[in-house]
Structure 1
Amino acid sequence: MAVSFDLFGTLVDVDYPNDPAEVVARELESRGVDVPDDWHVAYGEVHVDAPAGAEVPLPAHVAQALSSRGVEATENVARHAVVAAFDPDVTRRKGALEAVRTAAERGPVGLLSNCAVPELVSRTLIRAGLRGEFDAVVTSVGCGWRKPHPKAFEAVAEALGVEPAALIHVGDDPTTDGGVVEVGGRFVDVTETPLSALAGELEAEP
């Protein structure tokens, strides 16, 4: 048995920007980029042709959105702007650390997070006091696939040294986190089973 956890909404709560396009625009302008007048429209368009379920890193999207309006910015500038724009306050949810350590007593434990922003997961783990608690940390921007795509769950299972069918995934969204059942694994919904009750849920594993 191996257990993987979702991050945002499961182990931590964060304050996301209400208007991501506007925050990114301000960070771009502070780095000398001439943001187009219709930036909100450009930001909302698809600019990278990716397979269904694949993750498009947000810096790549931002760079292509600018390019679509004739504004050139290196992906490095776009990356720094995006990382600065998504720098939220982080609150570790009650029982999160205990749940992770409870799972670790039973086998390898990992993190599987949908996140298109580089560095955000690592910074979040540090701020939440969860760095070093996982045997493997897999992000969609790192592995290239977003939950519920099977390849996302296969990536974390491989990193933990188990078959996907041996994976129990703990998350808050049946649509995304529940995708683990498609690879033969088991989903624990924290909206129904609180983190404080995870130990009993793991003991009840078929």
Structure 2
Amino acid sequence: MTIDGIDGKKRCFGGKEGQELLANYHDHEWGVPSSDDRHLFEMLILEGAQAGLSFETVLKKREGYRKAFHAFDPKKVATMSDQELEGLTQNPEIVRNRLKIWSARQNAIAFLAIQKEFSSFASYLKKFCPKVSSSKRKKSIKELPTKTEVSDALSKDLKKRGMNFVGSTIMYAYMQAVGLVDDHLQDCHLISGKPK
């Protein structure tokens, strides 16, 4: 079931009053295919930070993350000092979970190694999702999977390469976020008029 927004548009999420940030994310980012490695790295950090929290919480802190993690430049994040990372545990503009903060540097190092091996992180992701996958449109967000065989395989490979906070459920949410899967619901305004 989609949510009728205060603007009259049906959305998969973010349709309630006070959820304008979520509505904007839904309408302009969620499910939009991305081949921009900086954006792919940003979403890795944000989805990892979201573990155990609502994504709305993370979106509200997105600018804080942008400042804390050098505009999501993986080269700069990979060289952050222990002192810099430890200082972020006191930063109220981000989620102050020490393990999540420190994993950003470790994940950046692995991200750069993947870029070197595959020429881009986007190319690496195509190994798992050569094209945008979309099953029969669901009626409710509750009908969507939380993980799949593809997210299992991606998670396993990223962990093997040294990344943290990349479990299968997080990776499926990541795949949704960067448009590797299209999970918009059947009566979402973004797919109206498209084949279902």
Give the TM bin, normalised by the shorter chain. under 0.3
What TM-score results when the alignment is normalised by the length of structure 2?
Answer: 0.23
- Structure 1 or 2, whichever has the larger Rg, is 1
Question: If each structure's strand is expressed as a fraction of its own residues, which one has the higher value?
Answer: 1
What TM-score results when the alignment is normalised by the length of structure 1?
Answer: 0.23
